[in-house]
Chains A and B, each alone.
Chain A
Amino acid sequence: MGTLLLLGSNADVGQACAYRFAKEGYNILLAARTIDDYQKKLASDIAIRHNVKVENVRFDALQTAEHKAFYETLSIAPDVVVSVFGYLGNHEKGLADFEEAQLIIDSNFTGNVSILGIIANAMEAKKQGSIVCVSSVAGERGRKSNYLYGASKAALTAFLSGLRGRMFASNVHVATVIPGFIKTKMVADLPPTPKPITASAEQVAEAIWKAFSKKKDVVYVLPVWWLIMFIIKSIPEALFKKTNL
């Protein structure tokens, strides 16, 4: 069976995704910034429940200088890479303090450009492989309440779309998964989002599995989000700038 490299196993979506692939028999490399007690338990749990091999590996999205060595020292070259790491950040803080803004940009965008670039080159050479990356509806149009995060995700979406075009010729599949609201740690502290348009981590994982197994290009986790974003994107800028979104 194949091996999945899961970038961001600290995130709920990452964990749900690891279980989803393990259920299909994939061996899993769980990449997180720190391998704590919980990450180790996660690894044993997935391995025992699904009878697959699971390994913890250390990966820091911000340490781009280490990415090449990280990828080259993996015990096995993965067949599929799923990237779910990201940082919502504090928008208000980011407006006053560039360090926060940069952290948002680097976590969501620069980190992915670096690691997915390295992986894409390796897969291109072998002419096989799959890359699935989670972006966000926030990247579809900059809103005044969170455009730092939105801009970093917009850049990521554009990057993935270009990468998909480049990899097409080499038989390497690149999928962009676009969730709307997700019920996870990231938004646990914010006011609750409306239920019908909030996906669970498991629903996002299912969308990721579908994107991979059906070789989709762009997947909206809840289809209603495609419609919502279609409407939001069609609002003329002259009007949009007056909204409070």
Chain B
Amino acid sequence: MERIFNWGIYPTIDAECTTLNAVDKIAAYVRTTDAFIPRGNGRCYGDSALQPKIFSTLALNKFLSFDTVNGIIKTEAGVLLSEILEVIVPKGFFLPVTPGTKFITMGGAVASNIHGKNHHKDGAISQYIECFDLMVESGEILRCSRTENTEHFINTIGGMGLTGVVLTVTLHLKKIETSFIKQKAVKAKNIHAILDYFEQYQHYTYSVAWIDCLSKGDSLGRSILMLGEHATPSDLQAQQAKQPLQLHSAKQIDVPFMFPAFALNELSIKAFNFLYYNKQRQQEINNVVHYNPYFYPLDILTNWNRIYGKNGFTQYQFAIPFENGREGLIKILTKIADSGCGSFLAVLKTFGKGDAFSSPLSFPIEGYTLALDFKVSPKVFALLDELDKVVLDYGGRLYLTKDARMTSATFHQSYGTAFLHSTKFQSLQSNRLTI
């Protein structure tokens, strides 16, 4: 038995965690275990990867093939995106879709149907999955693709581990000329300005806005929009051009366990947001930065989740359709600003069209998506219940991989259709939400 929790350190559970790498042993485990959930690197925030019995995929850590001509990589499911970058970047390839941390597994990427800052243009990871091997309830291994075992293929992408254990993943990569990003940062004085900018700059491959959640009135939703394109060799400064396909460094800074809870009171967040917003004196900045600070600004702090203290935090990420979305965002931002429950990070992105090859549990729907971090407290949970109502009113939904608290009713109202799966695979979350 070990105390297990995911990135939000909330909730926690005593679980029996089994780590295996031989396929026959995994099959025996699957056949003989009544109820368990697969777990990758525990970078979901809440209880998606928690159960009294957990199968860890981290020993499934082998690269299986890399076609450097067509840019197709096949790995076991426990390989981390950070490891994949180490292999593919020097060969001129990049992940077609990447989340805000590189420390997630391939299996986790599939199970959450992850999205990046390019969803409005390139869609979710589902678009780039060639195939995967899935171990189902019987211990049998099914090769799933758009043409083989199609139903399993669809249900597993975004299926939150409820369809079986993904053993291997074959992924199409993106060709790059350099490992740098040509970045444009634009200041927006309020929510209207930022949403207009999103529209104006929608042709950019990458876009994301950092929102200051504490400003009110005319400044409600003041933010910085960060746009990006993969840089070409001619974009690079002399120093960068020496190593155009430079890798991220392995250097990490450790956050001591556990950061005192008072460090994150409203005042310190205000100061942080003020600094962040004012760091940028000009209206617009254009520069070329490495992919690591661009995509993974927080990865350098090994355990930044500890800054919220030992009771943990939760991330509230919702998506709402563009239609009336502006109004919905204003309502939500107002409620948050009024509550005084500051969110350290508030990240706004846009989603393009949903995709045909992902499960009914998959998150992205065309519209806006906002992600906010809150330190766990009764007051915060009351606020989030309020926000749920607004999200539902505007036809939105919450991201399961971030969730630890929504009600079953909220889930069923927003995701609608029933999701049939073997009871062998269940998580605290699927039980809570009666999925």
Closest Cβ–Cβ distance, residue A129 to chain B (whole Å): 30
The 5 closest A-B pairs by CB, nearest first: A48-B63, A45-B62, A41-B62, A45-B63, A48-B66
Q: Which of A4-52 contact B (CB under 8 A)?
A: 37-38, 41-42, 44-45, 48-49, 51
B403 neighbours in A (Cβ, 8 Å): none
Q: Which residue of B lies closest to A41 (CB)?
A: B62
B66 neighbours in A (Cβ, 8 Å): 48
**A49 with B87: CB separation less than 8 A:** yes
- 4 further contact pairs, Cβ within 8 A, besides A41-B76, A48-B64, A48-B66: A37-B23, A45-B61, A45-B62, A45-B63
**B65 with A48: CB separation less than 8 A:** yes
B64 neighbours in A (Cβ, 8 Å): 41, 44-45, 48
Closest Cβ–Cβ distance, residue B61 to chain A (whole Å): 8
Q: Which residue of A lies closest to B60 (CB)?
A: A41
Considering the chains assembled together, what is the distance between the CA atoms of A37 and B90 in angstroms? 28
Residues of chain B at the chain A interface (Cβ within 8 Å): 21-23, 61-66, 76, 83, 86-87, 90
B23 neighbours in A (Cβ, 8 Å): 37
Closest Cβ–Cβ distance, residue B265 to chain A (whole Å): 40
**B76 with A48: CB separation less than 8 A:** no
Considering the chains assembled together, what is the distance between the CA atoms of A44 and B23 in angstroms? 17
**A44 with B65: CB separation less than 8 A:** yes
B87 neighbours in A (Cβ, 8 Å): 48-49
Q: Which residue of A lies closest to B23 (CB)?
A: A37
B22 neighbours in A (Cβ, 8 Å): 37-38
| B interface: dominant SS | mixed
Considering the chains assembled together, what is the distance between the CA atoms of A107 and B83 in angstroms? 36
**Of B62, B65, B86, B90, the contact of A42 (CB 8 Å cutoff):** B62
Q: Which residue of A lies closest to B83 (CB)?
A: A49
**B21 with A38: CB separation less than 8 A:** yes
Closest Cβ–Cβ distance, residue A47 to chain B (whole Å): 8
For B63, B86, B90, the residue with the greatest tally of chain A CB atoms inside 10 Å of its CB is B63
For B62, B63, B83, B90, the residue with the greatest tally of chain A CB atoms inside 10 Å of its CB is B62
> Do A44 and B63 form a contact, CB below 8 Å, given A49-B86, A49-B87?
yes
A38 neighbours in B (Cβ, 8 Å): 21-22
Closest Cβ–Cβ distance, residue B275 to chain A (whole Å): 40
Closest Cβ–Cβ distance, residue B347 to chain A (whole Å): 32
Closest Cβ–Cβ distance, residue A22 to chain B (whole Å): 12
Closest Cβ–Cβ distance, residue A37 to chain B (whole Å): 7
Closest Cβ–Cβ distance, residue B250 to chain A (whole Å): 13
Closest Cβ–Cβ distance, residue B431 to chain A (whole Å): 34
Considering the chains assembled together, what is the distance between the CA atoms of A42 and B21 in angstroms? 12
Considering the chains assembled together, what is the distance between the CA atoms of A135 and B86 in angstroms? 35
Closest Cβ–Cβ distance, residue B244 to chain A (whole Å): 18
Considering the chains assembled together, what is the distance between the CA atoms of A218 and B17 in angstroms? 41
A42 neighbours in B (Cβ, 8 Å): 62
Considering the chains assembled together, what is the distance between the CA atoms of A49 and B21 in angstroms? 18
A37 neighbours in B (Cβ, 8 Å): 22-23
B76 neighbours in A (Cβ, 8 Å): 41
Considering the chains assembled together, what is the distance between the CA atoms of A129 and B63 in angstroms? 31
Considering the chains assembled together, what is the distance between the CA atoms of A14 and B65 in angstroms? 22
Considering the chains assembled together, what is the distance between the CA atoms of A49 and B65 in angstroms? 10
Q: Which residue of B lies closest to A48 (CB)?
A: B63
Considering the chains assembled together, what is the distance between the CA atoms of A74 and B62 in angstroms? 25
Considering the chains assembled together, what is the distance between the CA atoms of A189 and B62 in angstroms? 25
Considering the chains assembled together, what is the distance between the CA atoms of A169 and B65 in angstroms? 44
B65 neighbours in A (Cβ, 8 Å): 44, 48
B83 neighbours in A (Cβ, 8 Å): 49
Considering the chains assembled together, what is the distance between the CA atoms of A37 and B27 in angstroms? 15
A41 neighbours in B (Cβ, 8 Å): 62, 64, 76
Q: Which residue of A lies closest to B91 (CB)?
A: A51
Considering the chains assembled together, what is the distance between the CA atoms of A45 and B22 in angstroms? 15
B86 neighbours in A (Cβ, 8 Å): 49
Q: Which residue of B lies closest to A50 (CB)?
A: B87
**Of B21, B61, B62, B90, the contact of A44 (CB 8 Å cutoff):** B62
Closest Cβ–Cβ distance, residue A232 to chain B (whole Å): 36
Considering the chains assembled together, what is the distance between the CA atoms of A75 and B64 in angstroms? 22
B62 neighbours in A (Cβ, 8 Å): 41-42, 44-45
| Interchain residue pairs with CB less than 8 A apart (26) | A37-B22, A37-B23, A38-B21, A38-B22, A41-B62, A41-B64, A41-B76, A42-B62, A44-B62, A44-B63, A44-B64, A44-B65, A45-B61, A45-B62, A45-B63, A45-B64, A48-B63, A48-B64, A48-B65, A48-B66, A48-B87, A49-B63, A49-B83, A49-B86, A49-B87, A51-B90
A49 neighbours in B (Cβ, 8 Å): 63, 83, 86-87
Closest Cβ–Cβ distance, residue B175 to chain A (whole Å): 18
Considering the chains assembled together, what is the distance between the CA atoms of A71 and B86 in angstroms? 35
Closest Cβ–Cβ distance, residue B390 to chain A (whole Å): 47
Closest Cβ–Cβ distance, residue B276 to chain A (whole Å): 37
Q: Which residue of B lies closest to A43 (CB)?
A: B62
Considering the chains assembled together, what is the distance between the CA atoms of A45 and B21 in angstroms? 14
Considering the chains assembled together, what is the distance between the CA atoms of A172 and B64 in angstroms? 36
Considering the chains assembled together, what is the distance between the CA atoms of A37 and B61 in angstroms? 14
Closest Cβ–Cβ distance, residue B76 to chain A (whole Å): 7
Considering the chains assembled together, what is the distance between the CA atoms of A41 and B60 in angstroms? 10
Considering the chains assembled together, what is the distance between the CA atoms of A137 and B345 in angstroms? 55
Closest Cβ–Cβ distance, residue A200 to chain B (whole Å): 16
